């Protein structure tokens, strides 16, 4: 019978959340009261009035009346309760229940029941729990199911969404916060996420900026959305950092996107660019036959070695030219790379202390962060909009406790970390 009722509701073009709420209400009534009659309906209404606030009572009664209409028992329809427009003094809400207190007046008006503070704390606890579950990968609907198990109350997606409002405010304020004037090292990269757009699902770019601070801890400076990744897009993001207080960056580590060096020098003149060697190796090996991959990989490790204080940019560039000449005879893509002077940006790391070179010659740090971003978004398939993606990514970045720990030895380079 309940299944037939659900099909009936679907045909009436009601919202999905409304259908779910009505079906849940009817199923609860039939489970606990067995028979549909006036006595049981009034008993259920009394139970609702004693345990829930008026808006919730009327929502449940709407579901019951809709079921009576479906079952051709309109005469049994239940009247709604009166809803006051303003909250009465001494009334508070906790876990979906309404409690009304008679608070005595004292001469100076200083008496406040402690129970009100306790219930407020419980409401804040619910919001924190909803935010934690949501950022761990659960959808709003799944969070509602968990709350139903804990509190014995049905929570719609709209209810959970309202609980997440506090998290939206916190994330927005954090992503728009003022920044420090100088960051020694900044890593930039894009993560691509599927989003619903009108009648299609598009894969869009989310620009992420991760920085090492002067105190050797790390923090995410910004998360932005654009349809695709481009040098102009990164120019806008860097301008946003400048407007939020950043005046100088020591080194920017990025992938091989063309035009990036121009936009960096325009916004932050004098900032060096290190292109990710891991991306380059990966791209080269993808063009090589399986039988040659091992030898090519060995040669690349020799070219892009770290930790050798005597290995200079000039020496590395000579070895790169030799590598491209050797393998360029068999692969045209490698030969073209050897002719491109812009590839010198892959050897910038050799200008810094040999003890920190392995930390700055790839974008591995920001790619580890992107794995966390993908983990919290992939359970949902395509995200409903860019705001929901930025909310999840922002909250994940805010909660990265590992970023509060100092990066050992990175301050050994006095170019990036000058003595004050």
Cα Rg of the chain (Å, integer): 30
Closest CA relative to residue 48, chosen from 31, 68, 28: 28
With 0-12 CB in 10 A as exposed, 13-18 as middle and 19+ as buried, what is 317?
middle
Instruction: Output the pLDDT for position 111.
Output: 59
Higher model confidence: residue 207 or residue 49? 207
Q: 211 with 244: CB under 8 angstroms?
A: no
For residue 205, pLDDT over 90 is answered with: yes
| Structure confidence at residue 92 as a pLDDT band (50, 70, 90) | very low
Per-residue model confidence as pLDDT tens digits over 124-138: 677 777 777 777 767
Give the residue ranges of DSSP H helices in 136-276.
140-151, 157-163, 165-175, 231-243, 260-267
Instruction: Output the pLDDT for position 83.
Output: 63
For residue 235, pLDDT over 50 is answered with: yes
| Structure confidence at residue 85 as a pLDDT band (50, 70, 90) | very low
Instruction: Output the pLDDT for position 91.
Output: 42
Instruction: Output the pLDDT for position 295.
Output: 97
| Structure confidence at residue 324 as a pLDDT band (50, 70, 90) | very high
Instruction: Output the pLDDT for position 231.
Output: 95
Q: Which residue has the tokens 């003890």?
A: 355
Measured CA to CA in angstroms, residue 219 lies from 61, 179, 236, 379, 396 at distances of: 50, 10, 20, 25, 12
Instruction: Output the pLDDT for position 145.
Output: 81
Instruction: Output the pLDDT for position 383.
Output: 78
Per-residue model confidence as pLDDT tens digits over 117-172: 554 545 667 777 777 777 776 777 888 888 777 767 777 777 787 777 878 888 89
Query: Which tokens hold the place of 97?
Result: 């229940």
Question: pTM higher than 0.95, yes or no?
Answer: no
Least confident among 52-56, 66-70, 206-210, 366-370: 52-56
Do strands 97-100 and 182-197 pair parallel, antiparallel, or not at all (unpaired)? Answer: unpaired
For residue 5, pLDDT over 50 is answered with: yes
Instruction: Output the pLDDT for position 100.
Output: 65
Per-residue model confidence as pLDDT tens digits over 371-405: 988 888 876 677 778 888 898 899 889 888 899 99
Q: 234 with 257: CB under 8 angstroms?
A: yes
For residue 67, pLDDT over 60 is answered with: yes
- % of the chain with per-residue pLDDT over 90: 50
Instruction: Output the pLDDT for position 335.
Output: 95
Instruction: Output the pLDDT for position 199.
Output: 79
């Amino acid at each position: 019978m309940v299944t037939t009722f659900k099909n009936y509701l679907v045909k009436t073009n009601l919202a999905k959340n409304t259908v779910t709420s009505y079906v849940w209400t009817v199923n609860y009534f039939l489970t606990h009261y067995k028979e549909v009659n006036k006595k049981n309906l009034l008993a259920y209404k009394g139970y609702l009035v004693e345990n829930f606030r008026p808006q919730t009572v009327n929502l449940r009664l709407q579901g019951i009346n809709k079921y009576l209409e479906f079952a051709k028992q309109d005469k049994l329809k239940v009247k709604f309760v009166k809803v006051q427009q303003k909250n009465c003094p001494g009334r508070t809400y906790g876990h979906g229940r309404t409690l009304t207190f008679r608070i005595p007046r004292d001469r100076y008006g200083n008496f406040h029941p402690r129970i009100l503070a306790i219930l407020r704390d419980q409401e804040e606890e619910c919001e924190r729990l909803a935010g934690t579950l949501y950022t761990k990968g659960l959808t709003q609907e799944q969070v509602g199911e968990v709350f139903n198990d804990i509190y014995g109350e049905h929570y719609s997606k709209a209810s959970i969404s309202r609980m997440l409002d506090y998290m939206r405010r916190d994330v927005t304020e954090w992503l728009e916060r003022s920044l420090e004037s100088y960051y020694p090292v900044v890593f930039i990269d894009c993560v691509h996420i599927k989003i619903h757009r009108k009648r299609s699902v598009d894969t869009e770019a989310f620009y992420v900026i991760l920085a090492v601070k002067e105190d050797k801890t790390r923090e995410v400076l910004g998360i932005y959305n654009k349809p695709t990744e481009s040098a102009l897009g990164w120019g806008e993001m860097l301008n946003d950092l400048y407007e939020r207080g950043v005046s100088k960056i020591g080194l920017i580590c990025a992938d091989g996107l063309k035009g990036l060096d121009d936009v960096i020098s325009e916004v932050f003149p004098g900032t060096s660019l290190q292109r990710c060697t891991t991306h380059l190796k990966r791209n080269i090996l993808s063009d090589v036959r399986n039988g040659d991959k091992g030898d090519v990989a060995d040669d690349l490790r020799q070219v892009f070695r770290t930790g050798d204080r005597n290995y200079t940019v000039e020496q590395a560039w000579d070895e790169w030219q030799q590598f491209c000449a050797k393998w360029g005879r068999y692969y045209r893509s490698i030969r073209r790379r050897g002719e491109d002077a812009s590839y010198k940006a892959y050897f910038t790391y050799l200008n810094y202390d040999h003890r920190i070179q392995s930390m700055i010659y790839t974008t591995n740090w920001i790619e580890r962060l992107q794995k966390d971003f993908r983990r919290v978004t992939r359970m949902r398939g395509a995200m409903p909009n860019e705001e929901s993606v930025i909310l999840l990514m922002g909250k994940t970045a805010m909660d990265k406790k590992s970023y509060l720990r100092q990066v050992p030895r990175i301050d050994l380079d006095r170019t990036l970390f000058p003595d004050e």
